[in-house]
Chain A
């Protein structure tokens, strides 16, 4: 990618034989975060995409405060109109304003993305720490489960689970919240595997390290050990994985909505907008284009930011 560190730069130049001296090690001491920022900045696309992403997040959060057009204002006189001054992104078959609906849908997509990512990271850290701490048979079993989850047919299962559980949960917390909890939980439960592996790997690479031994000898509790020593070291790769998880979750949610099996029909998520638009492609292409572009731009930006973060936080990995 543009501005990435060439492979050869990590070859040690001079220094003690057998000791890998990365170029960074010989710079005047600066904090690891400054160093990460310096590497991130080199990835021009990642920087541009962080800008796009932040703009989109701000837009969906505060946009509706300024753009006060209702998401469900039905007006048949303006149905299926292309972009105009009154309706910057046009209208749908009921004359509802698409910009308002996309801003609203963006909140849901991003909320699902981040919430599912937190579920995934939580489960991943839990499973990874358990496996790393226990070792032996527990570890082997947990890793088997991790591999198993990696080979689950996710979308069919997702559809099956939502089909089976939606009504029960909807009855308890209402249709919108019910589906939200369901989708976030399940998508999260399908995406924790990478984080678990990373955290576990950190355990094994740090197990022999002196400071962990010392901390243990001093009677540090296991929880403290994980919290103070293991996790901070695994943080970089975990952040990268978490970023990609957000994108995966947004795609998963949009897919469900696009199949008509996600949020209730009156909630205009981006996927739902596409679902509604797909039978009107010939006379109202804008209806499908704008929500589709919103998903695409968000996912693309997140993926590029993830790539930049990988350069910044996980420099040892050759892409």
Chain B
């Protein structure tokens, strides 16, 4: 797999302007055992109309980062300890609950990992989509249902007029994820956050959902922050990539740069672990998984957090945490190499 698989995409007019700028974000959780430093210094920027992928293994703080952007984490036990989240030039962190509600769905839509549990089982999908648009746009009941049906049609759900009256349990996992996407896009947000939208789905369905996301982005022109733990997904969808490890960003680059010249040993490992394209549809085997596991975020190790699993580790790596620095124009990495 290389950068050549990513094709050039039509670039929406407003590209280039920063839409979202997360800087120095730290989110900690108070637990019985101490502070879990789930997000511990994260910088991510998303331009208008751009797709940014956030990659990293399970448990490295991607979901917490995404949820923090909409302030959906439970506080307490969670707390935004430091950093800012600028959205269209305004900082989200100090915003009041009322200000947040105006941003949720209207400005930033979100799709979660688990389509089976993300919808309320006791309401029809039509009711759930209509609820969103009625709240933000004050539509009449009838108009809201029409919008719901339109949204279902947009995400390629067959016979949408009939399906709006169905309950979530009457949809398959892939179809529910389409409903979630329809709901997240129903108020035409400027940014869509998709948190591992395909992880819970079958391999064939995964491809369809990614395709749908790409299609939606092209038609509606919103920016997308796509969170995933699979490098394969990155190559196919993103323009820029942020690699996270143990609550920190360890590398950031354009897709082409990253695949051609991965700087951080963790990124290199992730790329090596991509299933080959000809096997991808039939097997789940990781060809070369990175040995070891993500360290505890309770007491992160001193120095480079990847040291325990890194094949190039030296004394210097253990002494101090390598900062995220620009190694080449537009290509940052946090490694002493």
Interface residues of A (CB under 8 A from B): 5-6, 8-9, 11-18, 23, 26
From B57, B58, B74, B296, contact of A13 by CB (8 A): B296
User: Contacts A6-B77, A8-B74, A8-B77 given: A17-B32 contact, CB under 8 Å?
Assistant: no
CA distance A13 to B28 in the complex (A): 11
How close is A38's CB to chain B, nearest CB, in angstroms?
A: 11
Contact B295 A14 (CB under 8 A): yes
Q: How many A-B residue pairs have CB under 8 A?
A: 43
How close is B40's CB to chain A, nearest CB, in angstroms?
A: 12
CA distance A15 to B29 in the complex (A): 16
Question: Smallest CB-CB separation from B35: which chain A residue?
Answer: A13
* Interface size classification for chain B: 10 to 19
Contact A15 B296 (CB under 8 A): yes
The majority secondary structure among interface residues of chain A is loop
List 21 A-B residue pairs with CB atoms under 8 Å apart, sorted by A's residue number. Answer: A5-B32, A6-B32, A8-B29, A8-B31, A9-B33, A11-B31, A13-B29, A13-B33, A13-B296, A13-B298, A14-B36, A14-B293, A14-B294, A14-B295, A14-B298, A15-B296, A16-B293, A17-B58, A17-B59, A18-B58, A23-B31
> Across chains A and B, which 9 residue pairs bring their CB atoms closest together, nearest first?
A14-B296, A17-B58, A9-B32, A23-B33, A13-B36, A8-B77, A16-B293, A9-B31, A13-B298
How close is B295's CB to chain A, nearest CB, in angstroms?
A: 6
Interface residues of B (CB under 8 A from A): 29, 31-33, 36, 57-59, 74, 77, 293-298
Other 18 A-B pairs with CB < 8 A, given A14-B295, A14-B298, A16-B293: A6-B77, A8-B29, A8-B31, A9-B31, A9-B33, A11-B31, A12-B59, A13-B31, A13-B297, A13-B298, A14-B294, A15-B59, A15-B293, A15-B296, A17-B57, A17-B59, A17-B294, A26-B33
How close is A90's CB to chain B, nearest CB, in angstroms?
A: 49
From A5, A14, A23, A26, contact of B59 by CB (8 A): A14
Question: Smallest CB-CB separation from A19: which chain B residue?
Answer: B293
Residues in A whose Cβ lies below 8 Å from that of B33: 9, 13, 23, 26
CA distance A12 to B77 in the complex (A): 14
CA distance A21 to B36 in the complex (A): 13
How close is A242's CB to chain B, nearest CB, in angstroms?
A: 28
Question: Smallest CB-CB separation from A26: which chain B residue?
Answer: B33
Contact B297 A23 (CB under 8 A): no
How close is B248's CB to chain A, nearest CB, in angstroms?
A: 14
CA distance A11 to B31 in the complex (A): 9
CA distance A18 to B229 in the complex (A): 13
CA distance A26 to B58 in the complex (A): 19
Residues in B whose Cβ lies below 8 Å from that of A18: 58
CA distance A8 to B32 in the complex (A): 9
Question: Smallest CB-CB separation from B76: which chain A residue?
Answer: A8
Question: Smallest CB-CB separation from A23: which chain B residue?
Answer: B33
Residues in B whose Cβ lies below 8 Å from that of A26: 33
CA distance A18 to B200 in the complex (A): 13
Residues in B whose Cβ lies below 8 Å from that of A16: 293
Residues in A whose Cβ lies below 8 Å from that of B74: 8
CA distance A81 to B297 in the complex (A): 68
Question: Smallest CB-CB separation from B247: which chain A residue?
Answer: A14
Residues in B whose Cβ lies below 8 Å from that of A8: 29, 31, 74, 77
CA distance A15 to B58 in the complex (A): 10
CA distance A5 to B33 in the complex (A): 11
User: Contacts A8-B77, A15-B59 given: A23-B32 contact, CB under 8 Å?
Assistant: yes
Question: Smallest CB-CB separation from B58: which chain A residue?
Answer: A17
How close is B162's CB to chain A, nearest CB, in angstroms?
A: 38
CA distance A124 to B295 in the complex (A): 45
CA distance A17 to B60 in the complex (A): 10
